[in-house]
Amino acid sequence: MADFTIYLGNKNYSSWSLRPWLVLKAAGLDFDEVVIPLDQPGTKAEILRYSPSGKVPVLHHGDRVIWDGLAIAEYLAELAPERLLWPADPVARALARSISAEMHAGFAALRAHCPMNIRSSFPNRGVTPEVQADINRVSSIWRDCRKRFGEESVGPFLFGGFTIADAMFAPVVSRFRTFKIDLDEVCQAYADAVWTLPSFQEWQAAAGNEPMIIDEAEF
Ligand SMILES: N[C@@H](CCC(=O)N[C@@H](CS)C(=O)NCC(=O)O)C(=O)O
């Protein structure tokens, strides 16, 4: 049994769960994982056995319990500083934290109308004017980071190498793919880099094999 156990929602649908799972992978830590099927009669009671907030994801590290995706990511960044889970440069790091917090707290229209559904494809659905405004804001964040900090020689991610900021936007990459959102060249190249990340591919394969269906994320 590993020192770390992360409790997750369905891999196909739980955008909140995907983020810290990718960060655990990037941290290079050995961990166990438990998927708690969401939207079932016993879901809340089951989650409450592990998470005081009644939400997943939650990370158990020995007797420490850390819940909320961004808090888990911050905890892992402190445990594995050598992995540069935040950018080393203070200016880049401040921007990475700003956009991660913006993603964590915002983009309500995109979340509501384009739910994460990794294995499905819903072209031309869900894009209201409010969703388009969210798409435009995400695209502008990606372009700005790639231009200012995403040195090709370091890597294809927002700050070159993979950081927590990329994990925060990974569910959006999946949403854009499911809903066939048109992106410019820079944003599409970034989205492709996140989508083909080996850890994300592993998650996608597991999502594809899950039998559970959540009706409200289907069209
Ligand atoms: N801000 C939280 C949100 C977590 C969240 O909303 N989790 C959902 C699953 S995606 C959940 O646990 N739902 C179960 C329920 O509310 O019963 C985080 O980042 O961890």
The answer to whether the CB of 126 is under 6 A from ligand 1 is no
By the 8 A CB rule, do 73 and 165 touch? no
Pocket test for ligand 1, best of 6, 7, 10, 16 (most atoms within 8 A of CB): 16
Residue 1 confidence (pLDDT) above 80: no
| Confidence (pLDDT) at 145 | 98
Q: What is the mean pLDDT of residues 67-73?
A: 98
**Residue 53 and residue 122 share a domain:** no
Q: Is 218 domain-assigned?
A: no
From 61, 82, 103, the end of a domain falls on: 82
CA of 100 from ligand 1 middle (Å) equals 17
Average per-residue pLDDT for the chain: 97
28 & 134 share domain = no
Report the nearest atom of ligand 1 relative to the CA of 15: 10
| One domain, residues 136 and 195 | yes
Is the C-beta atom of 57 inside 6 A of ligand 1?
Answer: yes
pLDDT tens, position by position, 147-176? 999 888 899 999 999 999 999 999 999 999
- Please count the structural domains in the chain: 2
* 219 pLDDT higher than 90: no
Q: How far away, in angstroms, is 160 Cα from ligand 1 center?
A: 29
96: CATH: 1.20.1050.10
pLDDT at 189: 98
105 to 110, 111, 179: CA distances (angstroms): 12, 11, 22
Q: Are residues 74 and 102 in the same domain?
A: no
Angstrom distance (rounded) from CA 33 to CA 70:
18
Residues 99-103 have a mean pLDDT of 98
Residue 52: give its domain's CATH number.
3.40.30.10
Residue 204: pLDDT over 80: yes
Looking at the fold, whether 57 and 129 belong to one and the same domain comes out as no
Q: Once rounded to an integer, what is the mean pLDDT over residues 53-77?
A: 98
Domain that holds residue 95: 84-202
Residue 210 lies in a domain: no
Mean pLDDT over 55-68 rounds to: 98
Q: Which of 52-61, 149-158, 187-196 has the lowest mean pLDDT?
A: 149-158
Return the pLDDT at 124.
Answer: 79
